[in-house]
Amino acid sequence: MKFRFIAALAALLSLSEATSAQSHAHEFGFQSDNDSFLGQGSDRYYTNGLYIFYRQALDVKNSTKLANKVLGLEIGQKMYNPISGYVLNAGFVDRPFAAYLYAGANLNLLYKNESNVKLSAQTGMIGPAALGKQVQNIIHDTFGFYNLNGWQYQIRNNFQLNLSAEYNRLMARASWIDLSASAYANIGTGFNGAGIGPLVRIGDFNQFFNSVSTQSISTRNSSTPLHSRELFLYYKPQFNYVAYDATVEGGLFQDSQPAGPEIRSTPNRAVLSQQVGAAYGGKRWVIDLAAIFHTRDVKTQTFNTHQWGSATILYRFN
């Protein structure tokens, strides 16, 4: 129901906004992830995420290589369950209960050759201090879902400092379709690993230095986009190598033996993901709807795959 509402909203915004191009240097909005968005009736593994964004375009008029540069700030929370948010005992915990609460900043460097480098840093907490149990209780109480049991087994508190780098580059383009390559690497106290894969876009899309695809619609640059607005479908398969995941293995510097009732596990090192979505970028509004499908994150997971929906809404202003 929520996805259908947002899709209808995107269509209305597309019709109501003027078609003339207009630049805005700031944007603010949020992203909500939840497995219930796909209507599968599941409540497991990566079960909820909420993120708030602010982005500001920086001046690049004196640069010979940069077409755009965007500074971003965000706060977010990720929440993980085993097979359900209610387990009878520790034997049913096939993926650790865990939450990650953080604040972060990023710098997105977007080049005229339609490549970009995005550098990010996050600091926060995993464990009870990340408030996963409290937030999930609020969600379940608000919508009349089942009672929770099992957060007593969650990953313990641990401070987090994580860095990441992302790279994208256009490979080929026709008038209505293009292909690009995407890669990332993570290093820190909580998340270490890397991933690579293609991105295919079909529809009305803009260059990668001014597009929903690279979070770069905010701009102070006067360059002419391919389209006055974006409205396209996309497909992004990706191979991910997981060297360390604190939401599964606990804090990097904690004792090798779990403390108290904490349950840890071992991640799969190779994870395949697929993201299918639709994106709209207009004069003021940005909407991105996606469905994400993952192979098993943790070796002990009962189900081989899991999936969730993601909805992003941003408002652009001067």
Strand intervals (E) in 84-229? 98-111, 115-126, 158-173, 177-188, 191-204
Task: List, in order, residues 6 or more apart from 73 with CB less than 8 Å away.
Answer: 53, 54, 55, 103, 104, 105
CA distance 68 to 219: 6
The tens digit of pLDDT for each residue in 206-240 reads 999 999 999 999 998 777 889 989 999 999 999 99
> Given pLDDT bands bounded at 50, 70 and 90, which one contains residue 20?
very low
Listed by start position, the domains of the chain span: 2-18+26-317
CATH of domain 2-18+26-317: 2.40.128.140
pLDDT digits (tens, 9 = 90+) for 235-284: 999 999 999 999 999 988 877 777 779 999 999 999 999 999 999 999 89
* pLDDT per position as a tens digit, 39-82: 887 889 999 999 999 999 999 988 999 999 999 999 999 999 99
What does the chain come to in residues? 318
For the stretch 74-93, what's the b/e string if a residue is b when 16 or more beta carbons lie within 10 angstroms of its beta carbon? bbbbbbbbbbbbbbeeeeeb
